Structure 1
Amino acid sequence: MDETIDLGRAAADELEKARQSPHGRSARALLHDGHLRHTLLAILDGQVLGDHAKPVAATLQVLSGTFVVRGGDAELRLSAGQLAVLPGPRHDVTAEGDSAGILTTLAG
């Protein structure tokens, strides 16, 4: 089954869910294909997704806002339109401005 997702609409919807969340963030699975996972993240300005382990492989594509990802000695500042491999093996994520992005992971 082919599924097409309007990323602009999906990001706006997820940011609205984040605004209603006491934690200021929201996420939902967009697509799965075997071990490949695409997850839409929405994090409000100044909120943090605390220190967590990186999956086998992970990238973040920013749709809106800015994410600052810190892992070990590395710090990535990713803005709308940018894509990068996330540092590991552990990292945290902070939003600057209300931000949305697609986390792509290879699990297992």
Structure 2
Amino acid sequence: MHTLVDIAAAAAEELERARTSPHGRSARALLHDGALRHTLLAILDGQVLGDHAKPAAATLHVLSGTFVVHSGEAELRLGPGQLAVLPGPRHDVTAEGDAAGILTTVAG
């Protein structure tokens, strides 16, 4: 059986969870297939997902808001509808506006 996800509804739910979180962010697994993982990430305006290591491979597809990713001196700004490979080996993420996106990773 195939798993279907209503992305718009899931993003709205995750943003609502972020609004009730003391950290202003929330995430949940959407789909997972072997080492491939799709995670819905919601971060409220001005909140930060602190410095962390990048998995073996990672992309971010922005659904709403803007994510600003810093890796060393480099800055990557992603807005709605944009998809990019996340920089590494370490980075942090800040939201401008309440932001939601799909983080796709390959664990390894």
TM range (shorter): over 0.9
Which segments of 5 or more consecutive residues in structure 2 lack a partner in the other structure?
none
Q: What letter is aligned with 1:14?
A: E
Q: CA RMSD in A?
A: 0.5
**Could you say which residue in structure 1 is the equivalent of 2:5?**
5
The runs of at least 4 consecutive aligned structure 1 residues that moved more than 4 Å come to none
Which segments of 5 or more consecutive residues in structure 1 lack a partner in the other structure?
none
* Cα distance per residue 1:13-70 (max 9 Å; x no partner): 0000000000000000000011000000000000000000000000000000000000
Query: What is the total number of aligned residue pairs between the two structures?
Result: 108
Secondary structure of the residue that 1:23 maps to in structure 2? coil
1:72 and 1:49 map into 2 onto residues whose CA distance is: 15
Secondary structure of the residue that 1:4 maps to in structure 2? coil
1:72 and 1:106 map into 2 onto residues whose CA distance is: 22
Secondary structure of the residue that 1:8 maps to in structure 2? helix
Q: TM-score, normalised by structure 2?
A: 0.98
**Could you say which residue in structure 2 is the equivalent of 1:90?**
90
Q: What letter is aligned with 2:93?
A: V
1:80 and 1:59 map into 2 onto residues whose CA distance is: 14
**Could you say which residue in structure 2 is the equivalent of 1:59?**
59
